[in-house]
Structure 1
Amino acid sequence: MRYTEIKVYPKNWEKNIKANLNKEWYLYYEFDKKQIRFKSGVNCCKTLEEKQNFTRYLIDNEYRNLKNGYNPITKEFINPYDSVSEHTPFILALKIASKKIKVSKSTLVGVENAIKIIEQIALKTGHANIEISKIRKRDVRIMMDIVLEQKYSNDKYNKIKSYLGILYNYFVDMEIFEHNYIHYIRKLPHTPKKREIYREDDIEKINSLKDYHYELWRFLVIFHSSQSRLSELREVKINDIDMKNQTFTIFEKKGKNYKDVMKPINIHTEYLWKELLKEKKKGDIYLFGENFRPSENPLTKDKFDSAFKYWKKKLGITKTAYALRHTFANNIANEFGIEVAQKVLGHTSQRTTEIYAVDYRENLVKEQSKLRPLFL
């Protein structure tokens, strides 16, 4: 036996002694010969009866967790089967599901961060160790309300809800729930921030990078007009480039699906693509490796972020690298209209494109002010 009997202080806690109400109660036992002591909010109870009932619940819950593989020293569960059942504790179930789902790397990071936030809240509310099948929509809603109380934005709230929905899809597949009730928790209204774009002063600073780190400058110039995300461009394979037809193929997420999408090689950056292909060595698979040249392995996010962060500070650049994509969207919308920009960027909604086309609304208002009234 790894753990001893769970005991309570005061020893006569089950007797109706009024003086016990004002005492500091705690539960204790030994696990692997180390003493474990916890209170879990028992001293917040207002009456003696409440205190006794809550203590009984804590004892039963702790025994149940211990039987399910809970280690009170590490505060983690050891699940020999690494699978979810209706009896798996809530937070452990979320963590196991995160390892089972098939999503992109960026989505997985979001899922894991959401679990961390929910875990902190669930430990305070007492939901962390409740069996997953006994967690109801109202329980999740209570935890989500605390997300807002902790000053997270509406956007963050919606993202956490979305990530929980992905995990609950797995629980539905495992027949723990018949329906994904996370979908019935309403999203909160969210007004996206106005996206930053590069203006002349920052463009000059990016161009000056050519003299200091040519390979990084080349990557950024290609990215600006590539109509792709940074993560997509970093993983472009040499075999997916067709210089004859001036196209390259990326693996793009469309809604909940992934598919190959063909993108054009901008005629003004064509020479840079050719330059990179000439630098290719035997065994190289990706157009961009860790030195921003063709390599066997793709350019990692950490390597790119580190290089850009250094030169951003060095040159006094005030925008993010991703703002180059926003700038391209803004330029297309100004030159050819919002509908063309939407198609080029692969957005399913024009509203999404308008977020990135920063000058679009302002220019539209200016044009409307020039319309000649019919009666003048």
Structure 2
Amino acid sequence: MKILPNGCSCTEVWVSPENWQSTTAKASLKKNWYVQCDFFDPNFKEKYPKGFPFRKKLNKFKTLEDRKAAAKLLLEEIPKLFQEQGFNPITKQYMIEKVPESSFQERYLTEICPETPFTVALRLAHESIKVADSTYKDIKYMLAKFIPAAEHLKFDSLQIAEVKRKHIRFTLDYLEKTEESFSAHKFNKYRGYLSTLFKEIIEFEAIESDIVLDIKKRIHETKIRETLSEEDRIKVNAHLKQNFPDFWRFTILFFHSGGRITELLNLKVEDVNLEQQKYRVLVKKGKQYKWTDRVIKDVALDLWIKCLYGSSSSDYVFSVGLKPGSTKIRREQINRRWKTHVKDKLGITADFYSLKHINLDEITAMLSMQDAAKMAGHKTISMVQKHYAIGEEERQFERLRTLQNKFA
């Protein structure tokens, strides 16, 4: 029993369910979560002989992580509310200094402010950011790894304003030690995603600077993406065309597009102009959304015409079954088809996205790196030069080798 001002007292604060700290089962979200203690006031001894049950429900928080974070915060703040502020939950009065009861729960756990717990602030920032769907999912995946690591290191009790560079670094180092697949590349990816969240938190004036950027990037080996050989391309083309014609059409059009899988899956019939041989896509990079025109090559025009046959203007070009329809499908379906129909059946090891690399490299060889960048929708040649023009170095060697600049 804790002695409080004005002759009052209270029991220790406890949480229901009892296994709230260790549970990982989503089924536990169906249980009634709350934090409680019993408050005793001598003036209300007859009315509440067993104490007044002071309870704060947590069911409004929809994830286990948020409920755990809320419970931890309330375990710390309720005793302060009684001891330091002299709050009496029976009379609803503050005997020392009046502070709105909701200030330690509602604001800190539902809004980003300097006092918001570290991991809660990360989740709220994730909910708030405006990024491409794929990036949003990637950050969600990162948080599913990062937050448990931060909790293990006891950093989740820190207020976001108290978080320093070392806390981020220690958490990333912990992941590196405990996760077998954690690499320098993943370290840099997580660093970038965390920086995105910290920039969002800055917007709410909860912190002053993006401390994540002060963490140095890891040096990692850049691997050349494996691509299909000429023999593999012939094999894949014949196999898909004969057995899976709809997926074959999508594969060929993706190859010639120079764009992203999600751009084609988001594409609607009304955004395709066959007469001008263009289609329009909404490019989402960071917080910038911009409509951009993509070229329809002569070599792919007939397939575009077949893909649009019998469609309505509001249809997605590649819906269920990769045919026009009203439902947008997920990009995971394309990778799944490639694995099932190509990798597993033909023994091909290159992934679907390597088709983009092949196309942009061939455009670089036949036209220029600037044309390849235009095809991919890039403003500069840097991405093509660094990632896509995989054969350019060899071509450059060949050009230099055969150069006939005689001395005399």
Equivalent position of 2:172 in the other structure: 144
1:135 to 125, 138, 163: 163
Equivalent position of 1:359 in the other structure: 391
- Cα pair distance change 1:317/1:284, threshold 3 Å: farther
Q: Distance in 2 between matches of 1:357 and 1:33?
A: 57
1:265 to 296, 299, 305: 296
- Give 1:22-41 correspondences, 5 Å limit: 30-32=14-16, 34=18
How many residues align? The count is 324
Q: Distance in 1 between matches of 2:401 and 2:15?
A: 76
Equivalent position of 2:368 in the other structure: 337
- Cα pair distance change 1:119/1:72, threshold 3 Å: closer
Deviation of 1:260 (Å): 0.6
Equivalent position of 2:70 in the other structure: 77
Pairing 1:155–2:185 present: yes
CA contact (8 A) 2:294 2:377 kept: no
- Cα pair distance change 1:337/1:109, threshold 3 Å: same
Gaps of 5+ in 2: 1-9, 23-54, 72-104
Pairing 1:304–2:334 present: yes
- Give 1:36-55 correspondences, 5 Å limit: none
CA contact (8 A) 2:132 2:285 kept: no
Residue by residue over 1:175-220, the C-alpha shift from the partner in whole angstroms, topping out at 9 and shown as x without a partner, is 1112222222222334422022222122112212111010000011
Equivalent position of 1:173 in the other structure: 203
Q: Distance in 2 between matches of 1:127 and 1:68?
A: 24
2:237 to 195, 207, 216: 207
Q: Distance in 2 between matches of 1:220 and 1:263?
A: 17
When structure 1 is superposed on structure 2, of 67-76 and 265-274 the one drifting more is 67-76
Give 3-state SS (helix, strand or coil) of 2:147's partner.
helix
What is the identity percentage for the equivalent residue pairs of Structure 1 and Structure 2?
Answer: 25
- Give 1:192-231 correspondences, 5 Å limit: 192-208=222-238, 209-231=240-262
Q: Distance in 1 between matches of 2:399 and 2:223?
A: 24
- Cα pair distance change 1:30/1:178, threshold 3 Å: closer
Deviation of 1:348 (Å): 4.2
Residue by residue over 1:263-320, the C-alpha shift from the partner in whole angstroms, topping out at 9 and shown as x without a partner, is 111111111111122231x575211101111101223223323322221212333221
Deviation of 1:336 (Å): 1.7
Give 3-state SS (helix, strand or coil) of 1:260's partner.
strand
Equivalent position of 1:116 in the other structure: 144
Deviation of 1:117 (Å): 2.2
Q: Distance in 1 between matches of 2:161 and 2:271?
A: 46
Equivalent position of 1:279 in the other structure: 310
AA partner of residue 90 (structure 1): F
Equivalent position of 1:58 in the other structure: none
Residue by residue over 1:54-75, the C-alpha shift from the partner in whole angstroms, topping out at 9 and shown as x without a partner, is xxxxxxxxxxxx9896989973
CA contact (8 A) 1:30 1:36 kept: no
AA partner of residue 75 (structure 1): K
Give 3-state SS (helix, strand or coil) of 1:361's partner.
helix
Equivalent position of 1:52 in the other structure: none
Equivalent position of 2:320 in the other structure: 290
When structure 1 is superposed on structure 2, of 149-158 and 320-329 the one drifting more is 149-158
Pairing 1:237–2:230 present: no
Deviation of 1:76 (Å): 4.7
TM-score (norm 2): 0.72
Equivalent position of 1:9 in the other structure: none
Gaps of 5+ in 1: 7-28, 39-65
Q: Distance in 2 between matches of 1:118 and 1:266?
A: 44
- Cα pair distance change 1:367/1:255, threshold 3 Å: farther
Equivalent position of 1:375 in the other structure: 407
Give 3-state SS (helix, strand or coil) of 2:326's partner.
coil
- Cα pair distance change 1:224/1:369, threshold 3 Å: same
- Cα pair distance change 1:113/1:203, threshold 3 Å: same
Q: Distance in 2 between matches of 1:372 and 1:37?
A: 74
Q: Distance in 1 between matches of 2:306 and 2:66?
A: 57
Pairing 1:92–2:120 present: yes
CA contact (8 A) 1:114 1:160 kept: yes
When structure 1 is superposed on structure 2, of 209-218 and 129-138 the one drifting more is 129-138
Equivalent position of 2:359 in the other structure: 328
Deviation of 1:329 (Å): 0.8
Q: Distance in 2 between matches of 1:96 and 1:290?
A: 33
CA contact (8 A) 2:161 2:206 kept: yes
Q: Distance in 2 between matches of 1:35 and 1:331?
A: 59
RMSD over aligned Cα atoms: 2.9
TM-score (norm 1): 0.77
CA contact (8 A) 2:161 2:207 kept: yes
Q: Distance in 2 between matches of 1:204 and 1:242?
A: 30
Give 3-state SS (helix, strand or coil) of 1:183's partner.
helix
When structure 1 is superposed on structure 2, of 296-305 and 130-139 the one drifting more is 296-305
